[in-house]
């Protein structure tokens, strides 16, 4: 059975990527995602990546395996994963946004995401502040 699955994780940039590095990463990722019918979103916040990917289970497991081994980031923390009935990002092979501090403040009510502290404690399902930022961005896409 080829079930639809999603994975969401947070990681730390290995080094500050230039805009051209990000463009190259996105160009390749979008090409491969289109080929595998993988959709999702990538956020860059205060030097941390937050990504949500969705697609058929086998493809998602394989891609997440490649992503975990990618030297462009470290300290990968799984935020949430599971099965879904339908996609959230039908139109996006990989939406991308660099999130500013002012936007974080609008969403969370405070500027400092304190991601380093978040890495120390295991995320609580659905209540993780980072997921809040992610879902807020999702709604702005579908609005
Ligand atoms: C933050 C981050 C997000 C990534 N997202 C994707 C993605 O959505 N799709 C993808 O194919 N590769 C993505 N990659 C690249 C993968 O880690 C890996 O390089 C790529 O899938 C290798 O594909 P290939 O072995 O088929 O060339 C991402 C890498 C990083 C660092």
Q: What is the pLDDT of residue 40?
A: 92
67: CA distance to ligand 1 center in Å? 5
Q: Which atom of ligand 1 is nearest to the CA of 32?
A: 11
For the chain, percent of residues with pLDDT exceeding 70:
80
- Report how far residue 55's alpha carbon sits from residue 41's, in angstroms, rounded to the nearest whole number: 12
Domains within the chain, CATH numbers bracketed = 4-142 (3.30.70.100)
Pair of tokens at residue 17: 């990527």
Q: For the beta carbon of residue 118, count every other beta carbon within 10 angstroms.
A: 17
Indicate the pTM of the whole model: 0.86
13-72 pLDDT, tens digit per residue, is 999 999 999 999 999 999 999 999 999 999 998 888 999 999 999 999 999 999 999 999
Which amino acids bring their CB within 6 angstroms of ligand 1? 25, 29, 32-33, 42, 49, 51, 53, 63, 66-67, 70, 72-73, 94
By the 10 Å C-beta count (0-12 exposed, 13-18 middle, 19+ buried), 65 is classed as: exposed
Residue 25 or residue 118, greater confidence: 25
- Report how far residue 39's alpha carbon sits from residue 137's, in angstroms, rounded to the nearest whole number: 15
């Amino acid at each position: 059975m080829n079930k639809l699955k999603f994975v969401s994780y947070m990681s730390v940039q290995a080094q500050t990527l230039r805009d051209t590095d990000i463009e190259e990463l996105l160009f390749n990722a979008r090409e491969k995602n289109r080929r595998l019918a993988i959709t999702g979103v990538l956020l860059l916040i205060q030097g941390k990546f937050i990504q949500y990917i969705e697609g058929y289970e086998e493809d998602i497991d394989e891609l997440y395996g490649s992503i975990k081994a990618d030297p462009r980031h470290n300290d990968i923390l799984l935020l949430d994963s599971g099965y879904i009935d339908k996609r959230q990002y039908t139109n996006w092979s990989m939406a991308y946004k660099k999130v500013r501090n002012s936007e974080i403040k609008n969403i969370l009510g405070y500027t400092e995401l304190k991601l380093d502290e978040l890495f120390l404690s295991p995320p609580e399902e659905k209540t993780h502040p980072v997921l809040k930022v992610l879902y807020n961005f999702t709604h702005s896409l579908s609005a």
